[in-house]
Amino acid sequence: MTSFEPVYIQTYKKGLLKEKIKNARDILRSCMLCPRKCGVDRLSGQTGVCRTGEHALVSSFDAHFGEEAPLVGKSGSGTIFFTYCNLLCIFCQNYDISHGGWGETVSSQQLAEIMLSLQKIGCHNINFVTPTHVVPQILSALEIAIPAGLSVPLVYNTGGYDRAETLQLLDGVVDIYMPDFKFWDSDIAEKTCKAPDYPETARRALKEMHRQVGDLVTDKAGIARRGILLRHLVLPHGLAGTRDIMRFVAKEISPDTYVNIMAQYRPCGRAAEVKELADFPSKTEYEAAVQSAMEEGIARLDRPRRVFMIC
């Protein structure tokens, strides 16, 4: 049986990673990395919406067992939580990290060592959480980690507010994309994230991700190796637009897309600024969201797990 090899191994061996790093760092000189297009020179210390300059910040890293079953397996997903965010949802459940900036600056060498340490303790993958604003820093760290023995799949765990042009830099690097698709309605995206272009941006991003990696593929043990794992958080009062999103995914991406419809919304951060977000979604609302996904043709739904409603 042929053993699995992450796609980045051949990209590194062919010398293509260096070009990707150069192109990514060039973007930082007048940053257009994400749809915010701040245009600041991050290499000289300027910061835009993501408040991140030349170096990434990390809030925590560890083997995580709260992710989807294909990522967790027996040994956990090697999560690296990056500080700050380019989307900044007012209801973020990691508000102290995304908005508050809790974390420490790391060099490329340090980030590479974090990846290798997670692999060493047996994690099935390296799971970059909120990586959109630090793509160049991740690529630079991989140039160090790969020759040092990194050999597990990379998970790009994103809010879905990604430019297709930036995602193209990750073609041949990322094996597993795990985007959110948060809202279908641009007015809701404006109220919650000041990003009215989120729905259209997420649609383009998801198409690019699927072009690169296709539907989720797992090994005999059920561990994810390559493909898309889509997340969708049920919001109270139908604010997320679940049915429209699932119809789009089934018709324009793939009905075999692996989807996790999540029930764990709770009013954190500044959620109360939008009246409807001050509530919890009801069990009926969650069940209706799952039903709508099935009715729209989504066949691969992540199995529900116990949810602790604590903020």
| H-helix or E-strand spanning residue 283 | helix 283-295
Count of residues in the chain? 311
Q: Residue 25: in which H helix or E strand, if any?
A: helix 16-28
Of 101, 91, 96, 100, nearest to 268 by C-alpha is 91
Distance CA 255, CA 290 (A): 14
pTM over 0.85: yes
Q: What is the pLDDT along the chain (311 residues), one digit of tens a residue?
A: 357 899 999 999 999 999 999 999 999 999 999 999 999 999 999 999 999 999 999 999 999 999 999 999 999 999 999 999 999 999 999 999 999 999 999 999 999 999 999 999 999 999 999 999 999 999 999 999 999 999 999 999 999 999 999 999 999 999 999 999 999 999 999 999 999 999 999 999 999 999 999 999 999 999 999 999 999 999 999 999 999 999 999 999 999 999 999 999 999 999 999 999 999 999 999 999 999 999 999 999 997 654 434 33
Residue 223 CA to residue 122 CA, distance in Å, equals 13
Ordered domains of the chain (ranges, CATH): 7-301 (3.20.20.70)
